[in-house]
Structure 1
Amino acid sequence: MGRKLDALLGRNSNISKLKNLAKMAISRISILKNQRQVRCSHAQSDVIELLKLGHQERALLRVEHVIKEQNMLDAFGMIGNYCDLLIERAVLLENKECHDELKEGISSLIFAASRCGEFPELQKIRQMLTSRFGKDFANCAVELRNKCRVNPKIVQKLSARQPHLEIRLKVLKGIASEIGVTLYLEEDAPVIAAEEKLDVNQKQKQLEPKKSANLEEIIEDEKLSESVKARKKYRDAAAAAQEAFKAAEYAAAAARAAVELSRSESRDNDPDEYGGSAHQQGTISDSDGSMTPKF
């Protein structure tokens, strides 16, 4: 009886501690929301200034910060609501298994704690809930497994991914309408075109190995076609040998002609080969045509 009472008192003590942590988390949320609200206001002011200056492409980039800060504000609001649920339904935490009425809230709080490192009270709540319902239950929520019961909206609000272009355009149009600025950013906006170009470049990089392979195939096909042409030129081995013999005979005749031409040129340039001219041999010609020595 004493052990049961101690266990019951210990359980009640843990529940009381969890309720106090939930209350402290709600107070922390008020501070964090004020900080995020200031950041969101600054980012929105930057967007308004860029729109007034006509830098709509830069405003489209800057509006991403507005969206992220607003998402965190919404997430903190949801976390506060789930903390209120823990306080109101604390009696249901006495069960060993998580009550269906609390599954979404507890799973969402555990998931949010894994994404909010600046929230110490929420981290302690996660530890207590993990100790109460087991690591498998906590891992199911953190890893977003099937039937984890985490609210999809809080998953979207705490996502680290860049907001979609459609969302950025929608928020930017809302801000522009408030200050009376007409947007010209549509589907053909420079920023959008740049993003599409980036996607195209990535696709081209993915296809480059395939193009290289195709180029190698083309070269091999060209080599193959040349060899086929060579085979088609000669019908059989005899024809190929005859053609080779003719080519060799033509080359030999050309070589002989080159030698004869070289000899002929050398005779024309050498005066001593045939005795040279009469004057060069030391004789003179008489009137009757006879040759007399020259002294």
Structure 2
Amino acid sequence: MGIKRILDALLGRNLFNTSKLKPLVNLAIDRIPMLKKKHKVRYTHARNDVTELLKLGEHERALIRVESVIKEQNMEDAFVIIEIYCHVLLERVMLIQKHKVLQSTFGKEFVARALELRNNCGVHPKIIQKLSPRTPSLESKMKVLKEIAASEKGITLRLESDHASEKKEGSIELHSLCEKLCESESKKASKKYRDAVAAAVEAFESAAYAYAAAAAAARAVIELSARTTESHDFDSDDENPLSMINP
């Protein structure tokens, strides 16, 4: 144990130094406002780009560009949370020293189990959400896009109406198929079968018709989904929306 402690002291392992922690945390606190300002400028530029695209009527491209708005806003929010935690760390730095005293007294196993008993000991969920590399969902992009459009006069989004019309067409097709199936079933149910053979034949024909109707409904859904996917792929292959604003 004596040799291990000497090596840890020489290599700087498992050693907590308050005099080094405070200057580093203060340095981080001083740098965070600069980083927040940097992402604020990017956020403003991205939002202005979305506004210009909406004014030009390029609503599909504005929906793509709004991802940058969400990303920069999330980064700015994450730095706000990190700054708060840095101040908390400076105020509670003495607790870390007491944690080391408990470790030397009761052992590492006791300290590890004590930490596991507490809730929310890991990374803050909001930090994970704000710094996530995942692409924002369509709902979140539409929400931000509506907020930007509402802040400007004379802009009416057409994205929601287009998607609603496509869904309405598909629902009408499915509804008509279901009505035909129900009408046929009601007519067949009103017949009186003369014997068991006739009843079996009618049941087989009814099952075949139901299978055909279900296949047609599934085909209509697949075609509707394919049209929607092709429209999104076509928009994603277009040129960069910024080229229309800043040639």
Please give the TM-score of this superposition, normalised by the length of structure 2. Answer: 0.52
- Aligned to 2:41, which of 38, 43, 52? 38
In the alignment, is residue 197 of structure 1 matched against residue 226 of structure 2? no
The gaps in structure 2 that reach 5 residues or longer are 1-8, 103-107, 113-118, 168-224, 234-247
- Runs in 1 of length 4+ with deviation above 2 angstroms? 10-13, 95-99, 146-149, 187-190, 192-198
**Residue matched to 1:186:** 160
- Equivalent-residue separation in structure 2 for 1:55 and 1:159 (angstroms): 28
Cα distance change, pair 195–26 in 1 and its aligned pair in 2 (3 A) = farther
Instruction: Give the alignment's Cα RMSD to 1 decimal.
Output: 3.7
Distance 2:101 2:77 in 1: 26
The question of whether the paired residues in 1 share the 8 Å contact of 2:16 and 2:97 is answered with: no
- Post-superposition offset of 1:149: 2.3
Q: What is the deviation of 1:15?
A: 1.3
Distance verdict in 2 for CA 1:97–1:67, change over 3 Å? farther
Counterpart contact for 1:40–1:65, Cα < 8 Å: yes
Deviation at 1:194, TM superposition (A): 7.7
Among residues 4, 14, 18, which one is paired with 2:17 in the alignment?
14
Give the TM-score of the pair, scaled to structure 1.
Answer: 0.44
> Given that residues 15 and 93 in structure 1 are in contact (C-alpha distance below 8 angstroms), is that contact kept between their aligned partners in structure 2?
no
Question: Match of 1:160, as an amino acid?
Answer: P
* Matching residue within 148, 166, 170 for 2:139: 166
Q: Gaps spanning 5+ residues in structure 1: where? A: 1-6, 100-132, 138-145, 202-295
Q: Report % sequence identity.
A: 52
1:19 deviates by: 1.5
- Report the CA distance shift for 1:25/1:71 in structure 2 as closer, same or farther (over 3 A): same
User: Greater relative contact order (Cα 8 A, min sep 6): structure 1 or 2?
Assistant: 2
**Which residue pairs with 1:237 in the alignment?**
none
Separation in structure 1 between the aligned mates of residue 228 and residue 75 of structure 2, nearest angstrom: 29
Secondary structure of the corresponding residue to residue 95 of structure 1: helix
Shift of 1:196: 5.4
Shift of 1:178: 0.2
1:120-199 equivalence runs, <5 A: 148-180=121-153, 181-186=155-160, 188-189=162-163, 197=229
Q: CA deviation at 1:182?
A: 1.7
- Larger Rg computed on CA atoms: 1
Count of aligned pairs between the two proteins: 148
Q: Is residue 63–residue 171 contact of structure 1 (8 Å, CA) maintained in 2? A: yes
Q: Does 1:50 align with 2:53?
A: yes
Q: Which position in structure 2 is the counterpart of 1:85?
A: 88
Q: Deviations over 1:55-106 (max 9, x none)?
A: 110000000000000000000000000000001111111033699xxxxxxx
More helix by share: 2
Specify whether residues 13 and 163 from structure 1 end up closer, same or farther in structure 2 by C-alpha distance, changes over 3 A only. closer
SS at match of 2:157: coil
Instruction: Give the distance between the partners of 1:20 and 1:195, measured in 2 at CA.
Output: 58
Q: Which residue matches 2:222?
A: none
